[in-house]
C-alpha cells in the first residue's frame, strides 16, 4: 500500500504556488488599503466628532447662559426673599436660585465633557488652525469651574443667611456670614484663576464665533472677579463692623456733591452711628457748625505738603480735599474725639445720590414738613431745591440734618425687615459700585481688607498707568450741581522713557445766567477780578501713574504750568481754573508713562453728573 506523500507549502518563499502568491499579495494589498482608508478616515472622523460635540457644547453653553441670566434676574425678587420653603418631608425645598444654578452647572459640566478627549486635545494643539478649538475648550472649562466652584458657594449661602434674617435673627445671619467667609474667599480665588486662564486664550482666530465667545467670557469675568472679592472682604469685615463681637460707633458724613471735594462732596450734616449685634441706631445728628475744633492726627509730610496750606485739620470744609478717603476718616474721627473725648471705630461717607438709590429699595422717607424724600427727588431736593426754599442759612442746615435723619431712620427700619433686606443689600452693592459709599475702619486688620476694595475709598498706590481727575471747588459756590466732566486718555508713540500719553480734560459749567439763589452763586473766595453770578472756580488736579512725567500742558490751547505735587506714589499736577457760566475749558496734558502697554486705572470722583471717561487702546511697545 502506497501512502500519499505529505504536501507542505512554504508561503512567501521561492517555490510557492502561483495561487498562494496571489493570495498573499491580495492580503497585503487589503492591509495597505485598510491603512490608507484609516489615514484618510480618522481625521475626517475626528473632524466630524469635533463638529458634532462642538455644536452640542455650544448648545449646552447657551443653556447655561440662559440659566445664569435667569438666576441674576431672580435675585431680590419675591421668589427668593426670606426663609426657604419646606418640602413634603419637612426638608428645605430647593429655591429657584439653587434650581437655576444646578441646571447651569449641569449644562456647563456637559459642555466641558464634550470638549475634552484626544480629538479636542490634538485639534487645539494644531499650528495655525488650532486657535478656535483651544478657545472653545477654554470657554467650556471656565464655565464649568465658575458654575461649580464660584457661583455655587455664593448662591447656596443666600438661603441660609436669608433664613436666619427672616427668622428675625440678624446676629445669627451675621455669624453665618462670618462662617461662610472661607468659602467666599476660595470662590474669589478661583474666579481670579479662571480669569487669568481666560486671558491666555487666543484673542484672534479664524473663527469669529469663538472670538466673540472669548470676549463675552472675559467681560463677564471682569465684572464677576471684583464682585467676588467684594463679597469675600464683606464676609470677613461686616460682621465685626456691625457689632457681632461688641458695640461699634462710626462717624457718618453726608457729603454735599453740589460743592466738590476730593472724596466727593463738601462734608455737611453728619451723624454718629451705633452698631450692636447687627442692630443700627443713631446717637447724634449734627452739622458743620458743631465742628469747631482742631483734629490732631499725623498724616505724614507728603499730606502736609500737598494739603497743609488749606488747613484740612482745622477747617471742616477742607477736611476731605484728598481723594484718599482714609485721610478724611482719620480727620473726622479725630474731630469727634477732640470735641467729645470719645473714640470712634471708623468713618463712613455717603451722598444724596446714595440716599436716592437706597430709598429706591426701602421706599420714601417722610420729612418733618410732611413732604417725602424719594429715590427720584433726593439729589434735586437736597442739592438744588433746598437752596431756593430756605434763604436763612440756619434753616437750610437744619433741613439737611432732618433729611439725613429721615433717610437714616428709613434705612435702619428696612435693615430690620427681612422682606426688604435683599433689595436693600442689592442697593448697597450698587451704591458702592458707583463709588458713593466709602468706609474706613480704625481697626488695622479690617482696614487692610477695606483699603484693597473700592468701597474703602483708597487712592490706589500700585504701579502702572493711571488717570485721575480730582476737583475741589475753590469758590465756595454750590455750582458743581451743573458741572460736566470728560476725560480722554490717548496713548501715543513709544519712547526710551516709556510711552507718550495725551490726556484731554473738558469741564463745562451749565449754570444758568439767572434764577439761582445768592447762596448758590456767591463767591466766598472774593477774587480780585470781576465775576458774574454762575461763574465758578475749581482746583483741578490730575493724578498720573507712578514714575510719569509731565512734558507740556495747555488750557484752551495756551501753555500753562501746573503746580506739581505727589501723593501715594502718584505725581499730581494742579491748576487753579476759573470756569465762567455757560462755558467749557479744555485742559490737555502731555506725559510720559513708564508702563503704557496696559489701559490705565481711572479714578472716578463721585459728583452729581458722572465722569465721562474714554480710554483709547494702545499698540504694545516693541511690536
pLDDT by residue (tens digit) across 461-494? Answer: 999 999 999 999 999 999 999 999 999 999 998 8
Q: Which is more confidently placed, 174 or 194?
A: 194
Q: For the residues 148-161, what does the mean pLDDT come to?
A: 75
Is residue 480 within 8 A of residue 579, CB to CB? The reply is: no
547 to 58, 543, 544: CA distances (angstroms) = 46, 11, 8
For 274, the 3-state DSSP assignment is strand
Residue 232: pLDDT band with limits 50, 70, 90:
very high
304 to 297, 312, 335, 565: CA distances (angstroms) = 11, 9, 17, 11
Q: For the residues 548-569, what does the mean pLDDT come to?
A: 97
Whole-angstrom distance, CA of residue 345 vs CA of residue 343: 7
Q: For the residues 50-59, what does the mean pLDDT come to?
A: 85
Residue 541: pLDDT band with limits 50, 70, 90:
very high
pLDDT by residue (tens digit) across 59-81? Answer: 888 888 888 788 766 654 433 34
Q: Is the pLDDT of residue 5 over 70?
A: no
Provide the strand spans (E) within 277-321.
279-286
Q: Which is more confidently placed, 328 or 103?
A: 328
Q: Which is more confidently placed, 147 or 393?
A: 147
Q: For the residues 494-517, what does the mean pLDDT come to?
A: 92
Whole-angstrom distance, CA of residue 401 vs CA of residue 287: 7
pLDDT by residue (tens digit) across 398-455? Answer: 888 898 889 888 888 877 777 777 788 788 888 888 889 999 999 999 999 999 999 9
600 to 310, 351, 467, 489, 565: CA distances (angstroms) = 30, 27, 6, 8, 20
pLDDT by residue (tens digit) across 299-356? Answer: 999 999 999 999 999 999 999 999 999 999 999 999 999 999 999 999 999 999 999 9
Q: For the residues 572-586, what does the mean pLDDT come to?
A: 98
Is residue 477 within 8 A of residue 387, CB to CB? The reply is: no
Architecture of 248-454 per CATH? 3-Layer(aba) Sandwich (3.40)
- pLDDT attached to residue 37: 43
- pLDDT attached to residue 33: 53
Q: Which is more confidently placed, 43 or 286?
A: 286
Q: What is the 3-state composition of the chain as percent helix, strand, coil, each rounded to the nearest 5? A: 45, 20, 30
The CATH number of 459-615, from 1.10.12, 2.60.40, 3.40.50, 1.10.3470, is: 2.60.40
62 to 52, 120, 151, 398: CA distances (angstroms) = 16, 20, 17, 56
- pLDDT attached to residue 619: 79
Question: Which residue, 174, 151, 150, is CA-closest to 162?
Answer: 174
Q: Is the pLDDT of residue 42 over 90?
A: no
Is residue 55 within 8 A of residue 115, CB to CB? The reply is: no
Whole-angstrom distance, CA of residue 54 vs CA of residue 48: 10
Q: Show the 3-state SS of 148-202.
A: HHHHHHHHHHHHHHHHHHHCCCHHHHHHHHHHCHHHHHHHHHHHHHHHHHHHCCC
Percent of the chain whose predicted confidence (pLDDT) is above 90: 54
Residue 178: pLDDT band with limits 50, 70, 90:
confident
Element spanning 411, H or E: helix 393-415
Residue 394: pLDDT band with limits 50, 70, 90:
confident
Question: Which residue, 348, 355, 329, is CA-closest to 241?
Answer: 348
Residue 84: pLDDT band with limits 50, 70, 90:
very low
How far from chain centre, in Å, is Cα 33? 62
- pLDDT attached to residue 39: 42
22 to 8, 14, 230, 616: CA distances (angstroms) = 18, 13, 79, 75
Mean pLDDT of all residues belonging to the chain: 86
Q: Is the pLDDT of residue 90 over 90?
A: no
**How many CB atoms within 10 Å of residue 19?**
9
Domain residue spans of the chain? 41-74+95-241, 248-454, 459-615
Which of these ranges, 195-199, 264-268, 334-338, 594-598, has the smallest mean pLDDT?
594-598
Residue carrying the nine cell digits 424719594: 374
pLDDT by residue (tens digit) across 585-601? Answer: 999 999 999 876 788 99
Q: Which is more confidently placed, 262 or 296?
A: 262
Q: Is the pLDDT of residue 548 over 70?
A: yes
- pLDDT attached to residue 164: 53
Radius of gyration of the chain measured on its C-alpha atoms: 33
Q: Is the pLDDT of residue 17 over 60?
A: no
- pLDDT attached to residue 87: 46
How many CA atoms lie less than 13 Å away from 518 in the CB half-sphere? 3
Amino acid at each position: 500500500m502506497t501512502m500519499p506523500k505529505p504536501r507542505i507549502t512554504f508561503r512567501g518563499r521561492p517555490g510557492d504556488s502561483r495561487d498562494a502568491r496571489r493570495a498573499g499579495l491580495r492580503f497585503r494589498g487589503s492591509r495597505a488599503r485598510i491603512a490608507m482608508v484609516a489615514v484618510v478616515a480618522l481625521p475626517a472622523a475626528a473632524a466630524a466628532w469635533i463638529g458634532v460635540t462642538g455644536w452640542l457644547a455650544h448648545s449646552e453653553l447657551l443653556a447655561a447662559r440662559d440659566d445664569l441670566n435667569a438666576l441674576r434676574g431672580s435675585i431680590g425678587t419675591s421668589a427668593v426673599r426670606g426663609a426657604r420653603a419646606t418640602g413634603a418631608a419637612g426638608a428645605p425645598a430647593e429655591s429657584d436660585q439653587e434650581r437655576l444654578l444646578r441646571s447651569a452647572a449641569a449644562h456647563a459640566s456637559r459642555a466641558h465633557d464634550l470638549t475634552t478627549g484626544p480629538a479636542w486635545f490634538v485639534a487645539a494643539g494644531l499650528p495655525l488652525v488650532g486657535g478656535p478649538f483651544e478657545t472653545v475648550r477654554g470657554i467650556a472649562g471656565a464655565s464649568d469651574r465658575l458654575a461649580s466652584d464660584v457661583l455655587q458657594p455664593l448662591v447656596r449661602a443666600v438661603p441660609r443667611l436669608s433664613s436666619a434674617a427672616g427668622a428675625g435673627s440678624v446676629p445669627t445671619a451675621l455669624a453665618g456670614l462670618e462662617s461662610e467667609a472661607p468659602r467666599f474667599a476660595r470662590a474669589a480665588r478661583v474666579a481670579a484663576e479662571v480669569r487669568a486662564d481666560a486671558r491666555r486664550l487666543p484673542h484672534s482666530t479664524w473663527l469669529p464665533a469663538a472670538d466673540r465667545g472669548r470676549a463675552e467670557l472675559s467681560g463677564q469675568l471682569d465684572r464677576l472677579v471684583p464682585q467676588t472679592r467684594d463679597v469675600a472682604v464683606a464676609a470677613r469685615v461686616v460682621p465685626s463692623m456691625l457689632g457681632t463681637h461688641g458695640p461699634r460707633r462710626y462717624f457718618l458724613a453726608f457729603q454735599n456733591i453740589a460743592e466738590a471735594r476730593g472724596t466727593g462732596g463738601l462734608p455737611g450734616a453728619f451723624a454718629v452711628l451705633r452698631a450692636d449685634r447687627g442692630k443700627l441706631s443713631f446717637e447724634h445728628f449734627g452739622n458743620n457748625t458743631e465742628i469747631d475744633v482742631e483734629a490732631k492726627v499725623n498724616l505724614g509730610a507728603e499730606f502736609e505738603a500737598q494739603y497743609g496750606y488749606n488747613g484740612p485739620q482745622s477747617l471742616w470744609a477742607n477736611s476731605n480735599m484728598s481723594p484718599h478717603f482714609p485721610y478724611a476718616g482719620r480727620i473726622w474721627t479725630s474731630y469727634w474725639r477732640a470735641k467729645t473725648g470719645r473714640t470712634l471705630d471708623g468713618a463712613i461717607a455717603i451722598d444724596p445720590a446714595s440716599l436716592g438709590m437706597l430709598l429706591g429699595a426701602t421706599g420714601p422717607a417722610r420729612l418733618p414738613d410732611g413732604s417725602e424724600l424719594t429715590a427720584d427727588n433726593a439729589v434735586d431736593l437736597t442739592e438744588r431745591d433746598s437752596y431756593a426754599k430756605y434763604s436763612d442759612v440756619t434753616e437750610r442746615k437744619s433741613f439737611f440734618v432732618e433729611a439725613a435723619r429721615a433717610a437714616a431712620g428709613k434705612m435702619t427700619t428696612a435693615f430690620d425687615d427681612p422682606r426688604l433686606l435683599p433689595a436693600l443689600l442689592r442697593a448697597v452693592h450698587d451704591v458702592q459700585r458707583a463709588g458713593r459709599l466709602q468706609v474706613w475702619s480704625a481697626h488695622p486688620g479690617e482696614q487692610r481688607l477695606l483699603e484693597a476694595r473700592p468701597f474703602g475709598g483708597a487712592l490706589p498706590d500700585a504701579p502702572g498707568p493711571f488717570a485721575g481727575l480730582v476737583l475741589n471747588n475753590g469758590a465756595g459756590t454750590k455750582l458743581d450741581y451743573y458741572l460736566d466732566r470728560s476725560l480722554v486718555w490717548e496713548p501715543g508713540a513709544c519712547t526710551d522713557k516709556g510711552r507718550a500719553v495725551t490726556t484731554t480734560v473738558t469741564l463745562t459749567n451749565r449754570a444758568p445766567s439767572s434764577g439761582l439763589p445768592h447762596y448758590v452763586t456767591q463767591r466766598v473766595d472774593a477774587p480780585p477780578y470781576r465775576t458774574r453770578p454762575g461763574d465758578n472756580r475749581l482746583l483741578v488736579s490730575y493724578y498720573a501713574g507712578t514714575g510719569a512725567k509731565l512734558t507740556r500742558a495747555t488750557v484752551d490751547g495756551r501753555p500753562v504750568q501746573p503746580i506739581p505735587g505727589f501723593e501715594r506714589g502718584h505725581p499730581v499736577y494742579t491748576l487753579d481754573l476759573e470756569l465762567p457760566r455757560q462755558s467749557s475749558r479744555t485742559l490737555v496734558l502731555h506725559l510720559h508713562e513708564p508702563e503704557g502697554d496696559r489701559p490705565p486705572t481711572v479714578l472716578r470722583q463721585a459728583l452729581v453728573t458722572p465722569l465721562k471717561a474714554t480710554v483709547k487702546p494702545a499698540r504694545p511697545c516693541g511690536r
